[in-house]
Amino acid sequence: MSLTEKPAETPERLAFYDKINAGNCNALWTVFADIITPEPKSACQPHCWRYAPLREWLLEAGELITAKEAERRVLILENPGLRGQSRITTSLYAGLQLVLPGEVAPAHRHSQSALRFVIDGDGAYTAVEGERTLMSFGDFVITPPWAWHDHGNQSDQPMIWLDGLDIPLASFFDASFAEPGAADTQAQTRPTGDSLARYGANMLPVDFEPRELASPIFNYPYERSREALEALKRQQEWDPCHGLKLRYVNPADGGFAMPTISAFLQLLPQGMRTRAYRSTDATVFVSTEGHGRTTIDGKTFDWGPRDIFVAPSWKWIEHEADDEAVLFSYSDRVAQQKLGFWREQRGDA
Ligand code: GTQ
């Protein structure tokens, strides 16, 4: 038997399969090549969502339902190969959330971890465990597993962000729990900025002992991350596959900020064409600045600011930037690494 070819069937074998199937058994050699594949085989497809129509649909949703009635007013980005499953990749969820001025998305908590990446508007807040953070364009905000969170918009403009959650992972493990808050809005038990001052200044409280899996910082402001890219780009040390790519870090242990989702911010200088790269973590990208195109598994997608695109596991990715471009991205890399699955490969020069 080979890894990819199935043994020939005989009448005796077929009769045998029927017999054992009736007893809830199956013969491994009839399915081996389907379940232990030499390379990842995914229904997930490369795809790009342009922001303009998404924004229109989201604002239309804003006239149909309130954030409170919807619990979360979100349009789910469904991978074309995984329709009806609320997935953008096999393991991750993506949605675009709208909170209108004066609205509140009520407090709740769930097993699933969430990230927010702000793409439109300025000044709405997310409260996590009693602390509010004001959100601006490009901020990366996390909600750890089972943490109370609510969102509110006291600014005068609609606020839209990309939600990234590990919903499919929680479903896979049959480990989803959720609970509504006692009130729509959490009491503020810590001042805004507390976490960032305590944990986000390259210092930690002297007796700090990490007790959570997620980073104690829950807002990584774009201003700071962008500033780091700006300073580093002067070194002209471009990675041939990634340009200049940084990852968001949990200061308590140097790992990723979330237990199941890795997040990154990268800069591609004007005119750069990256060398092909692939890894087993299917990745969701959103551009914050610049224009370009990305070829994934031979399909090319043009993108500009706020457009969202997804690359499946183990498909070659090549970026090309027309002007200086910045891409945020997230994937399940941290989970795969912990479980021993993660691989990457760089293409030939
Ligand atoms: O903001 O808590 O897109 O619970 C999906 C589920 C957002 C949220 C989503 C959620 C949230």
Identify the pLDDT of residue 2: 82
In a domain, 1, yes or no: no
In a domain, 93, yes or no: yes
Pull the structure tokens for residue 282. Answer: 């299917």
- Tell me which of 54, 97, 126 to substitute to probe ligand 1's pocket, judged by most ligand atoms within 8 Å of the beta carbon: 97
Ranges of the chain whose pLDDT falls below 70: 1
Please tell me the total count of domains within the chain: 1
Identify the pLDDT of residue 14: 98
In a domain, 222, yes or no: yes
Question: Which residue from 117, 116, 91, 144 is spatially nearest to 332, judged by alpha carbons?
Answer: 91
Identify the pLDDT of residue 268: 98
Determine the Cα–Cα distance for residues 136 and 126; give it in Å rounded to an integer.
11
Q: How far is the CA of 163 from the centre of ligand 1 (A)?
A: 7
In a domain, 6, yes or no: no
- Tell me which of 78, 163, 185 to substitute to probe ligand 1's pocket, judged by most ligand atoms within 8 Å of the beta carbon: 163
In a domain, 266, yes or no: yes
Q: What range does the domain containing 149 cover?
A: 47-346
Q: What is the CATH number of the domain that holds 252?
A: 2.60.120.10
In a domain, 224, yes or no: yes
Question: Which residue from 155, 125, 153 is spatially nearest to 139, judged by alpha carbons?
Answer: 125
> Over the stretch 40-91, which tens digit does the pLDDT of each residue have?
999 999 999 999 999 999 999 999 999 999 999 999 999 999 999 999 999 9
In a domain, 60, yes or no: yes
In a domain, 174, yes or no: yes
Prediction pTM value = 0.97
Identify the pLDDT of residue 3: 86
Identify the pLDDT of residue 1: 60
> Over the stretch 166-198, which tens digit does the pLDDT of each residue have?
999 999 999 999 999 999 999 999 999 999 999
Question: Which residue from 276, 292, 299 is spatially nearest to 80, judged by alpha carbons?
Answer: 299
| Residue bearing the CA closest to ligand 1, atom 1 | 72
Identify the pLDDT of residue 349: 77
Ligand 1 atom showing the smallest separation from residue 97 Cα = 3
Q: How far is the CA of 349 from the centre of ligand 1 (A)?
A: 41
Q: How far is the CA of 93 from the centre of ligand 1 (A)?
A: 10
